Amino acid sequence: MSELVLPENFETYPEARKKAFLTMKELKEQGRRIVGVFCTYTPWELIHAADAVAVVLCGIGDDNIPAAEVRLPKNLCPLIKASYGAAVTDKCPFFYFSDMVLAETTCDGKKKMYELMGELKHCHIMQLPPGKTGRGALDFWKQEVIGVKEDLEQFYGIEITEDKLRASIRLRNRERKAVLDFFEVAKLKPSPITGYEISTVISSNEFSPDLEDKIAFLEQRTKELKDLYERELKGKPSRPRILITGCPTTGIMDKIIKCIEELGADVVGFENCCGPREKKDPIDEAKDPITAISEKYLRVNCSVMSPNPGRLEALDVQIDEYQVDGVVEVLLQACHTFAIESDAVKTFVTTKKHIPYIAINTDYSPSDQAQIDTRLGAFIELL
Ligand code: BJ8
């Protein structure tokens, strides 16, 4: 293998980014296959069955936006701009060292951005049907899943056997359960974990590529938190409990999640792709693997699907199970699908669940932080 080089600007990077680059470099030096992913629709089991490591690509960072705006419009979702900006400037260690990218045509902005990203490295783009229930939607999506399998096989010169797929489904279902149990610790009242810790752990790519290590870590942390609750917190008063919904919040963890907790409430749940959305829904291990994988991922409740009634059903359950006092909807700038759904979400939360709701429209820049603090502070006082 030819020697792996780090990006030109490596020495100027912050320590955390340097560390991630070195970890990924080591992985490549060990000869591991690496596939970059973005979205909850990604059929990870196929990547795992190809003996490849799936890494979540960076879609955060206000500093990644200017480079993206050279080719992308300013009035575009910051997640999309940051994803492209981090890739094109060699600031995302996961993109830099991935062999290929597996992405999906979710919203219009993302799918057009992937055309530009495809100029940088091989991007396999799965075509997502516009709805889950439309005639032929599942058959169409299943063909796309088969297309991924074939591309991985051709790209790496390997065969993804049925046995490998079945083993990978079983392992990922165990991982799902461990992640779900970790999320559900916050159902305890008062919650023994901050929403900020939940977000940090879940969005981390720092786990060992061995999923067994990740499962063990999560099981251990879940146990510690339950013990902490029994020992010190049970019976104590709880702060107001917030559920986050809307767009992914990894890029605004400090701006929104930390801010809510510093203002005196606990973020206990996430009804977005940073929460248990797909973890609650294991893959059927008894079925033909390709069919089971296709069915599972088509069930994801994302606003890019029309219609998307499953999202309100999930909100209904989560608000009750996590004993939620108020809902904060995060709408990233120019995200039309979540912005349009927010009207139905607000009506549902306030008139069916009878709890307060607030929508925060924002991007990755710090310029609106003071305004957000004021609005969230007033909202929390209401609870
Ligand atoms: S399954 S939520 S991870 S698409 S916020 S880029 S929709 S304009 S991120 Fe998402 Fe998959 Fe859906 Fe989840 Fe577009 Fe909206 Fe930006 Fe978005």
- The CATH code of the domain that includes 71 is 3.40.50.11890
C-alpha–C-alpha distance, residues 176 and 196, integer Å: 20
Q: For residue 110, how far is the Cα from the chain centroid?
A: 15
- Pair (214, 360) in one structural domain: yes
- Pair (127, 268) in one structural domain: no
35 close to 148: Cβ distance less than 8 angstroms: no
Domain range holding 97? 10-160
- Pair (148, 200) in one structural domain: no
- Taking the centre of ligand 1 as the mean of its atom positions, its distance from the CA of residue 356, in whole angstroms, is 25
Q: What is the CATH number of the domain that holds 351?
A: 3.40.50.11900
Last residue in a domain, options 134, 160, 186: 160
Q: Write the pLDDT tens digit of every residue in 109-130.
A: 999 999 999 999 999 999 999 9
Last residue in a domain, options 160, 188, 213: 160
Q: pLDDT at position 203, please?
A: 85
Give the model's confidence band at 205: pLDDT under 50 very low, under 70 low, under 90 confident, else very high: low
pLDDT at 257 > cutoff 70: yes
Q: Closest Cα to atom 14, ligand 1: which residue? A: 107
pLDDT at 63 > cutoff 70: yes
- Pair (200, 325) in one structural domain: yes
Q: Write the pLDDT tens digit of every residue in 181-197.
A: 999 999 999 999 999 99
- For residue 2, being part of any structural domain is answered with no
Domain count, the chain: 2
- Pair (19, 105) in one structural domain: yes
- Pair (233, 373) in one structural domain: yes
Last residue in a domain, options 160, 176, 207: 160
- Taking the centre of ligand 1 as the mean of its atom positions, its distance from the CA of residue 136, in whole angstroms, is 23
- Pair (198, 330) in one structural domain: yes
Ligand 1 pocket member 335 (CB < 6 A): yes
The interface predicted TM-score (ipTM) is: 0.95
Is residue 147 classed as helix, strand or coil in its secondary structure? Answer: helix
C-alpha–C-alpha distance, residues 381 and 348, integer Å: 22
Q: Which of 202, 332, 345 to mutate to test the pocket of ligand 1 (most atoms within 8 A of CB)?
A: 332
The values of phi and psi at residue 57, to 5°, are -80, 155
